[in-house]
Amino acid sequence: MFYLTEIEDYVRVEPKLFGLKTSDAVAKQLQETYNDYHDKEIGEVIGVVSVLEVGDGIIIPGDGAAYYKSKFKLLVWKPELHELVYGIIDEITNFGAFMNLGVMKGIIHISQTMDDYVSFSSTNTLLGKDSKKVLKKKDACLARIIAISYRGSQPKIGLTMRQPGLGKLEWISEEKKKVKVAAKKAAKEK
């Protein structure tokens, strides 16, 4: 889920930025600090939205940088269990698929791609035995987050598409059409 997070912290501004106006130096330092930044509590930082306040700076002997107590807003994405996510299939492997969620990637184990026996084909696709559904690279999908692991430098996100209303967007559309047809048929029979 996306959040706007307000943070109050000391920002260490490196000497190379001393020529800039203080607020600009703090903003530039925050951009550098929070580029590719992930924290378990905050989430994945998308960007620095604004610098709200910059206090007086202090210099610590032995450190050439200046420290400014600052308030700023970050745009972050923090994955939540059971959250619905939209993404594009980036890679198909013999054990599942990797889905690009925009901010980071999630993995869909082969057993979680569809309600069918699924096999990895020689054309780098996942194929449903009975349904004949095919999942391939660049397919747009809707999935649900079922696992989040914070071991390592980046979180690992486990996804499923084995619930009603989830899967490749074409599958969802076809299912909706089938439900409409069945509803019309049932209404005529009454």
Confidence (pLDDT) at 159: 97
Q: What is the Cα–Cα distance from 83 to 164, expressed in whole angstroms?
A: 14
Q: What angle do CA 153, 156, 161 make, to 5 degrees?
A: 165
- Written as six digits, the tokens of 154 are 């980046």
Q: Is the pLDDT of residue 39 over 90?
A: no
Q: What is the Cα–Cα distance from 81 to 61, expressed in whole angstroms?
A: 46
Q: Answer whether 55's CB lies under 8 Å from 102's CB.
A: no
Residues 63-94 as b/e (b if ≥16 CB within 10 A, e otherwise) read eebbbbebebebbbbbbeeeeebebebeebee
| Per-residue pLDDT reduced to its tens digit, 62-110 | 898 999 999 999 999 999 999 999 999 999 999 999 999 999 999 999 9
Confidence (pLDDT) at 189: 79
| Per-residue pLDDT reduced to its tens digit, 110-153 | 999 999 999 998 899 999 999 999 999 999 999 999 999 988 77
Q: Which fold has domain 84-182?
A: OB fold (Dihydrolipoamide Acetyltransferase, E2P) (2.40.50)
pLDDT band of 187, cuts 50, 70, 90: confident
Residue 172: partners with Cβ closer than 8 Å, 6 or more residues away: 142, 165, 166
Q: Number of helices (H) and strands (E), helices first, in the chain?
A: 2, 13
Q: Answer whether 75's CB lies under 8 Å from 45's CB.
A: yes
Q: What is the Cα–Cα distance from 170 to 7, expressed in whole angstroms?
A: 41
Mean pLDDT of the chain: 93
Q: Which single residue is written with the structure tokens 């550098």?
A: 32
Architecture of domain 2-77: 2-Layer Sandwich (3.30)
Confidence (pLDDT) at 122: 86
Q: Can you give the residue ranges of every domain in the chain?
A: 2-77, 84-182
Confidence (pLDDT) at 141: 97
Q: What is the Cα–Cα distance from 109 to 97, expressed in whole angstroms?
A: 7
Of 30, 60, 57, 43, the C-alpha closest to 4 is: 43
Confidence (pLDDT) at 155: 86
In this structure, what is the dihedral angle of CA atoms 182, 186, 189, 190, given to the nearest 10 degrees?
-170
- Written as six digits, the tokens of 46 are 């998308």
Confidence (pLDDT) at 130: 92
